[in-house]
Structure 1
Amino acid sequence: MFDLFGTIEEWIRGLLTGFVSSNLTTMFADVNEKTGTIASEVGQTPQGWNTGIFSMIHNLSDSVVVPIAGLIITFVLCYELISMIIEKNNMHDMDTWMFFKWFFKAFVAVFLVTNTFNIVMAIFDVGQSMVNSAAGVIGGSTAIDIAQTITAMETEMATMGIGELLSLTLETALVSLCMKIISILITVVLYGRMIEIYLYSSVAPVPFATMTNREWGQIGNNYARGLLALGFQGFFIMVIVGIYCVLVNEMTVAANIHSALFSIAAYTVVLCFALFKTGSISKSIFNAH
């Protein structure tokens, strides 16, 4: 009779231990996959992320937005010329130099609009270079050693009773579900940033058309700050991934399995929250709004 109860107990313990190990393996695999995806996604330029979307945005910019930018340039340059003439005591203090200055501004405005897409892509190329350099400096791996972690946890689970194992099974199932939700949120952050980049790029000629005017130039200047903020956001994302790497690698699994489990979950939640904040932090630094 006692042997039967012992056999049933061992079977239940083995079943619960298997459930816990399966949940942990799935959870850690999701974390490893998503943190690895962050580094690869952030390091891509708009043309490298999706060539089909990039081609569509480029064509829209050239065929739809550039003609509108040409009209804006015409208005801005006319406004600039009238303002220059009025400022010179209603044409009583005219000099030829102001016309050379006006022609130079016109040349710069046309040059900016006709080369807008190249300038925008150059900004993101600089951002990608920073991301790649940051990845080399960080040098750590955010990957959790699944086999070693599971082995350490199974060693501690061997000393647990059935009640504690049942509690741990429910905990791992809950944390694993939360991790999947967080993985979706991280994907939303990464894809949202790239879509925002494409939206910014699609209308680039319009704000660039205003940059040579003193009054209207605030539109172009703020747009340029927004571009820099988007480009440098990738660098901030890499810094956050590096911080997450340090936190995970310093975690001691064998000390307390419950504490270790929720520590990983907490670190991943912080990672997700910090990724959502990178956009506002970057815009705040560059004073973009």
Structure 2
Amino acid sequence: MNFIWDKITEWLKELLVSGVVSNLSGLFDSINSKVADVAGTVGASPQTWNSSIFNMIRSLSENVMVPIAGIILTFVMCLDLIQMLIDRNNMHDVDTWMFFKWVFKTFCAVLIVTNTWNIVMGVFDVAQHVVNQAAGVIIGDTAMDISTLMGDIEARLMEMEIGPLFGLWFQSSLIGIIAWALSICIFIITYGRMIEIYMITSVAPIPMATMVNREWGQMGQNYLRSLFALSFQAFLIMVCVGIYAVLVQNISVESDVGAALWTCIGYTVLLCFTLFKSSSVAKSVFNAH
């Protein structure tokens, strides 16, 4: 009777061990690939990330938004001229240099609007240069290899009792679902940032048309703050991934397999949270709220 029970126990163990190993095999592959793509995604400028979208956004900005910005610029500069004349004692104290000043401001405003695309892309080029310089310093190996962390996992699992082994199988199944969801979150955050970049650059001529005006200029200044925050968010994302890489590589070999798995998942959740918070941190740095 004991012989039959031992055989059943051994069969159940082999079944559960194979299930656990199957769950762990490639468990973090999707996360590893998404984290590895983060550096490539944030290190790419808008024109290199997707040239087709870049050309479409540039065409919209130059052919649709620039004419609208020209109308706004005309209104803003006329308002600026009226305010300048009224401020001088209702036109009783008017000097010729005021008109030269207004002409110069108008020239600068037109120059800014007509070169808005170059200005915006210049901001992103500067930010991407910073990111590419930092990539080799703060980014390490971000891959989580469960087999390396656990060592000879099959032999260690066969030493466990059926109860804890069944619990570990359930945990590995649950962790697999969580890992899949986290990889989707990382994809949404990184690719969502690039889409936000294309959206904010498409309307750039309109806020830039208000830059030289004393009252309306806040719109353009806030836009530039948001632009710098969005561009240098890439650097903060690289810092997040660098911290994540250090944490992953410092995971020690755990005697408890489940604890090691949950530690890896905890670090991944922390990465998703910090990636999400990188936008608000960048805005706080540049006061772009």
TM-score (norm 2): 0.95
Using the TM superposition, give the Cα deviation of residue 59 of structure 1 relative to its aligned residue in structure 2, in angstroms: 0.8
Kept in 2, the 8 Å contact 1:153–1:254? The answer is no
Q: For the residues of structure 2 that align with 1:44 and 1:90, how far apart are their CA atoms?
A: 54
- Secondary structure of 2:151 counterpart: helix
In 2, Cα distance between equivalents of 1:4 and 1:15: 16
Number of the residue aligned with 1:131: 131
Structure 2 CA distance for partners of 1:155 and 1:107, relative to 1, 3 Å: farther
Deviations 1:168-190 (A, max 9, x none): 01000001101101111111111
Deviation per residue, 1:199-257 (Å, 9 max, x gap)? 10010000000001111000000000000110011111111111111111111133321
Number of the residue aligned with 2:284: 284
Residue 49 of structure 2 is matched in structure 1 by 49
Q: Equivalent residue for 2:267?
A: 267
* Cα deviation, residue 4, structure 1: 4.5
**Could you tell me the TM-score, scaled by structure 1's length?**
0.95
Alignment of 1:125-164 (within 5 A): 125-164=125-164
Pairwise CA RMSD: 1.6
| Correspondence list, 1:1-289, <5 A | 2-289=2-289
> What amino acid does structure 2 have at the position aligned with 1:51?
S
Paired residue total: 289
Contact 2:139–2:241 under 8 Å retained in 1 = no
Q: How big is each residue's C-alpha offset from its partner over 1:129-160, in whole Å with a ceiling of 9 and x where there is no partner? A: 22222211114111123442353433432321
* Greater mean deviation of Cα atoms: 158-167 or 10-19: 10-19
Matched-pair identity in %: 53
Moved more, 166-175 or 46-55: 46-55
Give the conservation status (yes or no) of the 8 Å contact 1:152–1:253: no
Residue pair 2:31, 2:182 contacting (<8 A) in 1 also: no
* Distance in 2 of aligned mates of 1:144 and 1:152: 16
Q: Report if the CA contact (8 A) 1:41-1:49 is conserved.
A: yes
Q: Tell which deviates more after alignment, 200-209 or 272-281.
A: 272-281
Distance in 1 separating the partners of 2:2 and 2:119: 79
Are residues 245 and 155 of structure 1, via their aligned partners in 2, closer, same or farther at CA, if it must alter by over 3 Å? farther
SS at match of 2:125: helix
Question: Which sections of structure 2, spanning at least 5 residues, go unmatched?
Answer: none
Q: Distance in 1 between matches of 2:215 and 2:155?
A: 70
Which amino acid letter does the alignment assign opposite residue 124 of structure 2?
F
Task: Answer whether contact 1:57 1:202 (CA < 8 A) is retained.
Answer: yes
Which range moves more in the overlay, 124-133 or 111-120? Answer: 124-133
Q: Is 1:41–1:190's contact at 8 Å kept on the other side of the alignment? A: yes
Counterpart code for 1:271: L
Q: Distance in 1 between matches of 2:252 and 2:154?
A: 14
Q: Are the aligned partners of 2:139 and 2:238 in contact in 1 as well (CA < 8 Å)? A: no
Matched AA of 1:257? V
8 Å CA contact retained: 2:17, 2:154: yes
Q: Distance in 2 between matches of 1:131 and 1:11?
A: 54
Comparing 254-263 with 219-228, which one deviates more in the overlay?
254-263
**Residue pair 2:140, 2:242 contacting (<8 A) in 1 also:** yes
Bigger mean CA offset, 225-234 vs 9-18: 9-18
Equivalent AA in structure 1 for residue 236 of structure 2: F
Deviation at 1:71, TM superposition (A): 0.6
**Corresponding letter in the other structure for 2:257:** I
User: In structure 1, how many angstroms separate the alpha carbons of the residues matched to 2:79 and 2:40?
Assistant: 47
Deviations 1:103-148 (A, max 9, x none): 1111111111111111111111122122222211114111123442
